[in-house]
Each structure stands twice: as structure tokens, then as C-alpha cells.
Amino acid sequence: MPDLSSHLLQRIANRKAIVGVIGLGYVGLPLIDAFTRAGFTCLGFDIDSKKVDSLTRGQSYIKHIDSKRVSDWNRETGFSATTEMKRLGEPDVLVICVPTPLDEARDPDLQYVTGTAEQIAASLRPGQLVVLESTTYPTTTRDVMVPILNRSGLKIGTDYFVAYSPEREDPGNPNFTAAGIPKVVGAMDEISLQVARALYDCAVAGTVPVSSCEVAEASKVLENIYRAVNIALVNELKMLFDTMGIDVWEVINAAKTKPFGFQAFYPGPGLGGHCIPIDPFYLSWLARKFGHTTRFIELAGEVNRGMPIYVITRLAEFLNEQSKPIRGSRICVLGVAYKKDVDDPRESPSFVLLELLIARGAVVTYSDPHVPLLPAMRHHHLPSMKSEALTEGFLAAQDCVLIATDHSAFDYELIVKHSQLVIDTRNATANVKEGRERIRKA
């Protein structure tokens, strides 16, 4: 084994290796938490100076990583954060956790991956391990990132090491932290795989080695396609069952009593989060390059993207029953985070719902205990808003309350009791007993 890999393996085993994490968001911070708990010193990199300043003060900006943990990193392990990418040569390990969005044509946008790789190449030194965790299409590591890193003049597998290990973070899930989820690991060569496995074995529940970076990349895309297709299926069934007067939630609850052969997925107002609405289209794009079509993926995307329109159409029907148009109606959207009990608004369908309502002339407000100010989003243009308190008077003044995210903090008994009309897209009001005549499912 080359001396450089032996030296790095020894530093990892002794917890002397410094772990650099690039991208201090919903993936990067939990990963830092896992490595610091394992005894490693971490150095965080981000272009957002506000994030760096917050972490330096010991303050977290992500709900499921509390500020005490950040203070513990600073005090116990010497953690620090920086915007200075010239310091990328300091860590022994560099883990890339940058966004991989879609562009306006719904094609992969790898500008953050390539930009990060270029910055790493400028300071890459012998003995470093570079791991890409950002979700992407198979061949990205080999065909996009590695050629950029090779501009350093160093030889992969001898002078430096490269692996791909997809993130598996589930924000807001207390049962599965970053440290508690097994990590799939693929690498460019056997030595890189050995070094990457040694690193992750120190910090997570276990590693699942695979034969290549491409297999690791494909495994992550498969996980998200599986969920996207099944969610599209129940969304399509929901629309059919609504027409037939059948409650899809009752159907799912009945079906999931079968102890084998069925996994429950649930409908909603659209897909949210950074992974499921985006990642399947990475594979669709790659398939087109190889002359293939991915009909399941494309159809699932079509169904899921159409759900906000369906919800607004149903809302209009329910308001019409009360002789009210959408234009001029006061409508409050409950929840702008993409899923229950998190503060993550990425790709949330609530932003589409708000846009559709505003375009139709509604007087729109929102309430979300986890998102006090409506954040600016790259693909949405909404006015500045702050979360409204759900008082009895505020609820009574609304023509309609639209439940888009079923946060536990919402008092659904209170909401139903004092609202004129409640549109429930999440079955959040299932246990409300009084006032059910004011509830409509959509």
C-alpha cells in the first residue's frame, strides 16, 4: 500500500485526521455532528458568510441540530467554519455536500459541484481524500469531478483518493440521524475505497461498499425514484378516488394492514425537499444521452408536478359551494416547510400553492411555526410575508384555511373550530371530532 494512504489511514484510526465539509446546510451540518461525535476535528466551508458567522458564535440555523451541539463542536473538538476556500488544503478529508439543482430546462445543474472541484484542485495536496456526497447521476464523479481534480497534477489512487458516498439525511426524523444510517461507499480504486470506508466506519452505523462510484451514485437515484413513483401512484389514485367519493386515506390504512407485499405511501399537495422532486430527472437526462426513455420517471414527475393545480382546483370548487370566488377571498396556507415538523422549505409545494392563489387574486397569508419569515426562493417570486399566529380571531376572518404541511405544532381542533372552511391535503384533521362539516379533503 502506498505510504500516503497508510499515513492517512493511521490518522483516521487515531482520530487525528481533520475532516473538511464543504456546504454547511441540511446535509453538511448533520455530517459534521456525526464526525465530531466520533472524535474528529472538522473544518466547515461555505460561501454564505451568515452561516459561517452563526456557527462561529455557536448558533445553529437548522432545527434538528441545536445550538448546544454547535457550541460543543467549537469547545470540545476545535471545530471552525470559514468562507476562505484557500484553506481547502488544510483538511485530510474533503466531503462535498453542495446543492445539485435542476436548471430551467429541468436538466442537471452541476455548477456547484464543478465550482467546488475547481477550488479543491487549486489547493489539492498529496494524501487527501475527496468524497462527493451530493446526489447526482451515475458517472458524475468519474467524468465530471475527477478530470477537474486531475488538473492539480496529482495522480488519483496514489497521490490522492476519491470516493462517492450519497447522503441519506432525513431532516426531522429522530429515529435516523446521520450517524445512525449506513453509508453506501463507492470509489475510483481499491485504495480509495479502503480509505473512505475507514473514515465512515468511524462515524456512522456501518458502510456498504460497492464496486464503483457509478453504483453508489445509481443507488441514491434509485432510492429517490422509488419514492417519487410510488407517491405519484397514490396521488393519481387520490384524484380518482375523490371523483368516486372514496377516502384514499382510509383505503391506504386498510391496505397497509397486510403484513407483506405492501408499503404505504401517502398523497399530498406536491413533492418537496431537495431530493425527490429533483433527483429522478437526473437519471432521465442521462437516459436521453444513451438513447433511452424513462417513462415511469417522466409520468411520475408529471403527476406530482400537477398536484398543486389539482389542490387549487378543488379549493375553488369548495369555495364555490359557499358562493365565493378565489379572487378576493382571504386564504391562509398552513405550512411552507416541505414536510412535517422541519424548517426546510426547499422545493416545497407550498410556494407553488401561494403563487397560484396570488395569481388568482386571493388575499394570501401563511402560518408555519418552523419558518417565521417566508424565505426568498430561486424559482419563486413571492412578496415578503411573516408567519401569522393562528388566533381564534385570525382564523375566523379567513374564508379558507389550506393545510399544506401537517406540523404537529398546529392545534387542529382549534383550527377547525374557528375556521369557515378547512382544506386538508395531508389528512391532518383525521382525529378532529367537532366541526367536520367544515373540512374538505384535497
Residues known to be catalytic: 275
The answer to whether 201 and 12 have CB atoms below 8 angstroms apart is no
Bridge-based pairing state of the strands 80-82 and 41-45:
parallel
The answer to whether 45 and 20 have CB atoms below 8 angstroms apart is yes
The answer to whether 367 and 389 have CB atoms below 8 angstroms apart is yes
Burial classification of residue 69, based on how many CB atoms lie within 10 Å of its CB (0-12 exposed, 13-18 middle, 19 or more buried) = middle
Strand boundaries in 230-308, DSSP class E:
none
Nearest to 338 by CA among 256, 422, 417, 425: 425
- Using CA atoms, how far residue 76 sits from 3, 42, 69, 145, 308, in Å, is 31, 11, 10, 34, 46
The answer to whether 326 and 319 have CB atoms below 8 angstroms apart is yes
- What does 395-425 look like in DSSP terms, one character per residue? HHH-SEEEE-S--TTS-HHHHHHH-S-EEES
CB atoms within 10 A of CB 35: 29
- In single-letter form, the type of residue at position 388 comes to E
Burial classification of residue 363, based on how many CB atoms lie within 10 Å of its CB (0-12 exposed, 13-18 middle, 19 or more buried) = middle
Contacts of 279 (CB under 8 A, 6+ apart): 135, 220, 221, 224, 225, 228
- CB burial readout 206-242, b (16+ within 10 A) else e: ebebbebbbebbbbbbebbbebbbebbbbbbebbebb
Helix (H, G, I), strand (E, B) or coil at 54: helix
